[in-house]
Structure 1
Amino acid sequence: MHSISKKYPNSGRHTDGNISNLFGGHYFLYMAWIIYGMALDFMSKTKIITIFIFMLPSLDVIDTFLPNINRTIISIKRINRLFKQLSETTHTSVFQGKITTIKSIQAENLSFHYFDRQGNVSYSIGPINISFYSGEIVFITGGNGSGKSTFSKVLTGLYPPSKGEFIVNDQKVSMTNHKYLFSAIMADYHLFDRFYGVDTVDDTKVNELLFEMKLDTKVKWENKQFSHSPLSTGQQKRLAMIIALIEDKPIYVFDEWAADQDMYFKDYFYKHIIVQLKQKGKLVIVITHDDMFFDCADRVVKMDYGRIVC
């Protein structure tokens, strides 16, 4: 086969080199075996094989598209899986109305799966069973890859759970329909230059927070919009915190917010910001590695390999 390819170095795709490859490949052998087993006379078998030989270039084109076909099938399976999850959520007895106050949230047998390109599960969290209550501070800790951030995204409705359910105030809910309950600063957050979903914004309060966060010389709040000079990562997160505090949601989720802050703002976050939120009756969930501040939490939950271990 290699000698034929070398003999025709400038040949196109449908050349003797490719046909030779097919002769030595599974297409020709498989079809020849089938034809040989047919209850036909020798001349009929010869005619069929001759026709098949002329079909080989077309089969080569089919072979080219097989990987794309496989990827399409995998994508269709993923879409069907998502529709199934949404259908199961829709047809279960879930509360569809607007939730105005939070007393408790329970996650029951909650799981979430990541899938690779072949549609196989590559990583999972769960099953997770945990309860949260308004007016408490919960720290979630664990090593990198333990599932903390994934769980926070399922909790806040950004990812639909693969299995399990949420119960809010003793009512089953689809959390994807109640993202409005949360104000979250994730590790991969996006910093907006204005407020969305907030009816009224107190300009005085915004400027007070800019001063408290030591951003008043870097950031300006004018015409209901932020403008600023280049900000460090820590400064960007403090601006995101201002937006979160103004939103005044019943549940706050902070994923490693203090990781990029100096010691002053670490201390300010753990001993002032989240304490004030608790005093207002908010549920505060903090993903953190800062064990020196664990005493600031009402509970510390540890995750490992996608599960809660303590």
Structure 2
Amino acid sequence: MTPVIEARHIDKFFTSPVEFHVLKDITFQIPPGEFTSIMGKSGCGKSTLLYILSTMDTDYRGELLLKGEVLSGKPQNRLSRIRNENIGFVFQFHYLLGDFSVLENVMLPARKLARKSEEEIRHDAHEKLRMLHIEHLALKKASRISGGEKQRVAIARALINDPAILMGDEPTGNLDSYNSENVFQIFKQLKEEKGLSLLIVTHDEDFASRTDRILEMDDGRIVGGNP
């Protein structure tokens, strides 16, 4: 079965103020439908790796493949479309547009992709909100809802284009334990019911312990987790 994401011998260097080898020979793959977490101390390279895997950082050595297609070396406009079609991303902070409604925030990536009509996008956005039990917030301004609700809206937005993989950078790091558990259950449901692949950077050991696999990072390398 073709992996959803595959990294082959990824190396990353920071050059300022001095050269620093931040990622060292990273090789692993994420099969379809796997819920994987990445753990490690602060500064070990977790978020740097995630930004490369999500195609937002292209300054690296090695090869990155998405569903068997080599992405390394592709032009930015092509990567932008591939990312919008295939990768949903949830950050620690939701980055919603406060003056826009919840519904409009969820619709934005689908409008950018322009693969469906406005009516279809609106319908899909309502479906994602319903799936996350927040459809009643659709017409509220994003600035007027709670932190836990905002993170659910951010997840709905990440799912609007039906991505092949959902990536998260500390998506529960800004939430209390109740809302963190809600987010975990949403991710688990997406894996079990939709067959979605998930790759989540987290410091939360309880969260990670309930995922299918933990990739342990230390000093820029994957040191555990059967890559």
Same fold (TM over 0.5): yes
Mapped to 2, the partners of 1:163 and 1:144 lie a distance apart of 23
Q: Cα–Cα, structure 1 residues 173 and 246, in superposed 2: closer, same or farther, change >3 Å?
A: closer
Does 2:87 align with 1:185? no
Structure 1 match to 2:108: 195
What are the residue-to-residue correspondences of 1:252-267 with 2, within 5 Å? 252-267=166-181
Mapped to 1, the partners of 2:208 and 2:21 lie a distance apart of 28
Residue-by-residue CA offset, 1:97-142 (whole Å, 9 max, x unaligned): xxxx96432211101122215xx42452122111111111101011
Residue-by-residue CA offset, 1:202-260 (whole Å, 9 max, x unaligned): 254255256x25x84xx443xxxx62344554443222112113332111001111122
Q: Is the Cα contact below 8 Å between 2:10 and 2:62 reproduced in 1?
A: yes
Q: Is the Cα contact below 8 Å between 1:166 and 1:173 reproduced in 2?
A: yes
* Percent of aligned pairs with the same amino acid: 23
Structure 1 match to 2:15: 115
Please report how far the alpha carbon of residue 266 of structure 1 lies from its aligned counterpart in structure 2 after TM superposition. 1.9
Rg bigger for which structure?
Answer: 1
More divergent stretch after superposition (151-160 vs 196-205): 196-205
Mapped to 1, the partners of 2:63 and 2:147 lie a distance apart of 35
* Structure with bigger RCO (C-alpha 8 Å, 6+ apart): 2
Mapped to 2, the partners of 1:105 and 1:204 lie a distance apart of 29
Q: Is the Cα contact below 8 Å between 2:92 and 2:171 reproduced in 1?
A: yes
Structure 2 match to 1:140: 38
Please report how far the alpha carbon of residue 161 of structure 1 lies from its aligned counterpart in structure 2 after TM superposition. 3.9
Q: Cα–Cα, structure 1 residues 187 and 150, in superposed 2: closer, same or farther, change >3 Å?
A: farther
Secondary structure of 1:247's partner? coil
Of 164, 184, 198, 1:250 maps to: 164
Of 47, 52, 61, 1:149 maps to: 47
Aligned residues: 200
Residue-by-residue CA offset, 1:158-186 (whole Å, 9 max, x unaligned): 00142101234444332762323201113
Gaps of 5+ in 1: 1-100
Q: Cα–Cα, structure 1 residues 164 and 296, in superposed 2: closer, same or farther, change >3 Å?
A: same
Mapped to 1, the partners of 2:178 and 2:156 lie a distance apart of 17
Counterpart code for 1:283? S
Secondary structure of 2:207's partner? helix
Counterpart code for 1:105? I
Counterpart code for 2:10? L
Of 282, 287, 293, 2:207 maps to: 293
Gaps of 5+ in 2: 98-104
Mapped to 2, the partners of 1:172 and 1:206 lie a distance apart of 30
**What TM-score comes out, normalization by structure 1 length?**
0.56
